[in-house]
Structure 1
C-alpha cells in the first residue's frame, strides 16, 4: 500500500474521527496515518506522521481550522488540506481556501465523496462540495448584476 494517500484527520468530535477512521479503512487508495483532536495539535501530528492530505474541521476550540491550515502550510507547503465542516456559506469556504486549503467539503458528504476528494486533492485538484459551488456561482452572478446572464 505504498501508493496509498497518507491522511491525517483533524476534528474535535470523537464521533466524526471514528466515522472517518471506519470508512477510510475500507478504501485501499488512502490510509489513515493519524488523528488530532484540535488545531493546536496539527503541526506536531504532521511532523510525526508526514501526511499527504489533512482532513481539517474548521470550527474547533482553541486554534481554528483556518489558523491550523496556515500553520501546516507554513511547515510544509506541499501538504494538501481539505476542510471538512458543517458550514455551507461561501465566505467560510473562501476563508479557508484563502488560507491555502485545496478543498472544502461539508460533513453531509458521502464516504465516497470524501475519499474521492482526498485522492483528487493529492493529485493537485481543487475540490468543493456541490452546494458550496452553487453558492459561489450565485454570488458571482449577483456580483455581476450589470450583465444579464445568458439563459441555459
Structure 2
C-alpha cells in the first residue's frame, strides 16, 4: 500500500482529507516540524503539504524534506495558491492544489505522481 504524508494544521480538514485517502496508508502531521520528522521516519511516496502551518511553514518544510530526499514528491494544498503557490513550486513542490478541491481532483493529482 502506498504511503501518503498528509500535513494540515486544521483538525477537521486533516480528518476529511484522511477519509478521502482511505485507499492509502496515511500518516498525519499538523505542523512543519512534525512533517519533516515523520517524512524521515516513514519515507512516504507522496507528501500533501499545507502552506500555512504553525512553526515551520509548508515552504520551509518542503525545502527541508527535499534536502533530505531530493526525489520526494510534495504536492502543495493551500487556500492561498495565488499568493503562496509560486513559493511552494520554487521550494520544490511538483504541483499546487488549490483549496477547496473535489475528492476526484485530489485523487487524480496523487495518481499522476505515484
Bin the TM-score by the shorter chain.
over 0.9
Q: Larger deviation: 62-71 or 33-42?
A: 33-42
Match of 2:61 in 1: 68
Match of 2:89 in 1: 97
Q: How many residues align?
A: 114
Match of 2:11 in 1: 14
Match of 1:87 in 2: 80
Match of 1:150 in 2: none
Q: Can you give the 5+ residue segments of structure 1 that lack an aligned partner in the other structure?
A: 123-152
Match of 1:121 in 2: 113
Match of 1:36 in 2: 29
* TM-score, scaled relative to structure 2: 0.93
Query: Any idea what SS the aligned residue of 2:81 has?
Result: coil
Q: 1-side partners of 2:111 and 2:29: how far apart? A: 20
Return the offset for 1:108: 1.1
Q: Can you give the 5+ residue segments of structure 2 that lack an aligned partner in the other structure?
A: none
Q: Which of the pair has the greater relative contact order for Cα pairs under 8 Å at 6+ separation? A: 2
**Does the 8 Å contact 1:13/1:37 carry over to 2?**
yes
Q: Deviations over 1:93-140 (max 9, x none)?
A: 111100000010012110110111111123xxxxxxxxxxxxxxxxxx
Q: 2-side partners of 1:74 and 1:62: how far apart? A: 19
Larger-Rg structure: 1
Q: Deviations over 1:22-76 (max 9, x none)?
A: 1111x4xxx1331111001112101221101000000011100000000100111
